[in-house]
């Protein structure tokens, strides 16, 4: 009983940031999967400007976003466990998501800035407070 009490005492209120990070990973992954489905089934939804928007064609971009989104959702659920591989994956996927939204910056500047901000918060929470969830298991 005292061992369980010691384990609980190591967790602080900062664990809430990890829950936030996990939920944000699930939400951004879901949004990316939806964007991927839109690119696959209704490709005229995306507007390509004179500067261009994508390096790939819309079908390839749709598949990339769909798979990336599903991977982010799975990582978000795994992040609740505090596993090291989930924390590493979450930081890597959030960093890749930042780069992807920088590519969309000219088309959707407000949404891109919001997504980048959320991704930076996710990376911060996981890097700084990631050990607390693992210690609570």
Q: What number is the average pLDDT over the span 89-103?
A: 92
Which of the residue ranges 42-56, 66-80, 108-122 would you say has the lowest mean pLDDT?
Answer: 42-56
Domain range for 52: 2-135
d(CA 88, CA 111): 25
Number of domains in the chain: 1
Q: What is the pTM of this model?
A: 0.79
> Does the pLDDT at position 53 exceed 70?
no
> Does the pLDDT at position 58 exceed 90?
no
Give 9-47 as a DSSP string: HH--TTHHHHHHHHHHHHHHHHHHHHHHHHHHH-GGGS-
d(CA 74, CA 131): 19
């Amino acid at each position: 009983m005292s061992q369980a009490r010691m384990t609980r005492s190591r967790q602080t209120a900062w664990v809430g940031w990890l829950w936030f990070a996990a939920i944000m990973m699930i939400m951004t992954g879901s949004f990316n999967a939806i964007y991927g489905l839109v690119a696959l089934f209704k490709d005229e939804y995306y507007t390509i400007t004179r500067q261009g928007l994508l390096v790939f064609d819309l079908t390839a971009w749709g598949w990339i976003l769909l798979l990336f989104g599903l991977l982010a959702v799975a990582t978000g659920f795994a992040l609740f466990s505090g596993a090291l591989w989930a924390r590493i994956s979450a930081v890597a996927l959030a960093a890749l998501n930042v780069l992807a939204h920088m590519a969309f910056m000219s088309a959707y500047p407000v949404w891109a800035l919001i997504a980048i901000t959320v991704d930076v918060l996710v990376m911060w929470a996981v890097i700084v407070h990631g050990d607390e969830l693992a210690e609570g298991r």
